[in-house]
Chains A and B, each alone.
Chain A
Amino acid sequence: MTTKLNYHPDNAMLVDFSAGTLDTAPSICVSAHLHFCEACRTELLSLNEIGAQLMAKATAVAIDDAALDSALDAVMAAIDQPQPVKPAVKDQPASSGFPFSIGKLIANAESTLTWKRLTSSVDIAQFKTGQKVFEVALHKICAGGKTPKHDHNGVEYTVVLKGSFSDERAVYKEGDFLMRQPGDVHQPMGAQNGECICLSALAAPIKLSNPLGFLMKPWLRINPM
C-alpha cells in the first residue's frame, strides 16, 4: 500500500491541515491521501511540531493556584464518570482497504449511500459531511469507461481510492491526490483492467466543454450536504 506516489497535496495544504485550518471537505481528501502516502504522513509529524512549539513557547496565561486546583478537580471528577461507549465503526465490506475517514462516512450513510448512474460509465454516491461548501462524493468509473470532457467552475479535489484512471496528462494510481482549478479542462478515462473508485470534493458545478453537454445534465448538479 505504501508505494511511492506522484501526486500530493501541496505544502500550503499540508500546513493548513496540520494547523486545523483546512475546510472539512479538502481535509477529508487529504486524510484519504495520507492513508496511502507515507511521505506526507512523515512530513506532517514535523509540521505538527511547529504548532506544538508555538503553543509551548507562547506566554502561558497565568492561572492562580486556586483556580488551577479547582479546574483540576473538575477534570478529575469528569474522568471518574463512566464514559459513554461510542459504537465502533462497523467494518463494511464495501470499504475494506479504504481510508478510515471514508469508511466512517460510508458507515454513517448506511442505507442512504446510494449509487446513481451519472453516465453510462460513471456512477456517483454522495456523502453527508455536514458542510455546505463542497459536494463530497465517490465516483465509480467502469473499466475503460470514458467520462465527458469537462471544465470546473470551482476547485475540485480528487483522490484515487481503488484502481486507476488517466486523462490527457497522466495516469493516476491509488492514493494520488489531484487538484483541478477552474479552466482545467480534462476527460478522465477508467483503466482498462478494472473499475476505478475516486473520492472527490467539488466546490461548484462543473461545466461541460462539449456543446452537447446539456445532454449530460446530471454533471451540472451539485449538492453539498
Chain B
Amino acid sequence: MFLKKEEIVDKQTEKNSRVAVLNLAGKRSDQWSLMLVSVGENRDRQAFAQLFKHFAPLLKSFAQASRHEGWFPGLSEDLVQEVMIKVWQKAAGYNPEKASATTWIYTVARNCRIDMLRRKSNTQHLPLENEDFWHEPDEETPVTLLRQKRSEEKVQASLAQLPKEQDEILRKVYLEGKSHAEASNELGLPLGTVKSRVRLALQKMQILVAPEFQDELLNDH
C-alpha cells in the first residue's frame, strides 16, 4: 500500500508537531538539572563535582545571609557541606518535572539550615526534621512540566521588577530567615503592611490565586 503524497506530508507534519510537543513538555534541559538527574541515576561523580563548584558559592552566600538567632558565620561551611552531602544522597528522588535543580537544591538548603538551628537550640530529641513537613502524600501533586515552567518564568521575570519595598521583605523572609512578624518589628512597620506588601508581590508573580479559581486559570492557555 502506498500513501498519496499529501498523506505523507500530513504524516510528516503530525510527526513533527508531536516532536515539538515532546520537546516542550518532555524534559528540562538546563545543564544543572540534567547533571542532577545524572547524579541520581548514574551516581555520576563528575556531574556532582560540577554541581558542587556551581552551587557551593551560592549556598555559602545563602548561609551567610542568615540572620537567625543563634546563627554564626562559622556554620556556613558546615551548611555547604551538609547540603551537598544531602544532594548526593537524595538525588535519586529528584523529579525534574516539579522543580529545576536550583529550586530543588534551595529546598534542601532551607531544610538543612532550619534543622541545624533547631538542633543547636535544643537539647531534646527532635522527632521531626524539616523535610518531614514536605513529604508528599502517596497521591502526588500532578504537575506538568509545561505549567511548572510557565510559573517559574513568571516568578523570575516579576521578581526582578518588584518595587524595592516588596523585594526587601521577600529577601528578609527567604534569605535572612525572618518571619513576617520579625520583619515587621525590624522595619518598624505594622504586620498588616508587611503582609500586604508580600501579597502584592505574590499577585505580580501570579502566585496568589484563590484555590477555587486556580483550575480555570491553569486551563486558560
Consensus secondary structure, chain B interface: helix
Q: Contacts A58-B175, A79-B89 hold; do A16 and B127 have CB atoms under 8 A apart?
A: no
CA distance A39 to B102 in the complex (A): 23
The interface centre, meaning the residue of A24, A34, A55 with most chain B CB atoms within 10 A of its CB, is A55
Chain B residues with CB below 8 A from A46, complex form: 151-152, 155, 205, 207
CA distance A61 to B103 in the complex (A): 19
Chain B residues with CB below 8 A from A54, complex form: 159, 170-171, 174-175
Chain B residues with CB below 8 A from A38, complex form: 141-142
- Is A39 within 8 A of B178, CB to CB? no
- Is B49 within 8 A of A72, CB to CB? yes
- Is A12 within 8 A of B198, CB to CB? yes
Q: Contacts A1-B139, A31-B135 hold; do A104 and B151 have CB atoms under 8 A apart?
A: no
Chain A residues with CB below 8 A from B99, complex form: 45, 48-49, 52
A128 at interface by CB-CB < 8 Å: yes
A22 at interface by CB-CB < 8 Å: yes
B31 at interface by CB-CB < 8 Å: no
CA distance A75 to B62 in the complex (A): 18
Chain B residues with CB below 8 A from A100, complex form: 132, 135, 137
Known contacts A21-B182, A53-B156, A130-B124; 4 additional CB pairs below 8 A are: A18-B174, A21-B177, A46-B151, A129-B126
Residue pairs across A and B with Cβ atoms less than 8 A apart, 6 shown, are A50-B155, A52-B103, A56-B58, A60-B58, A75-B84, A79-B89
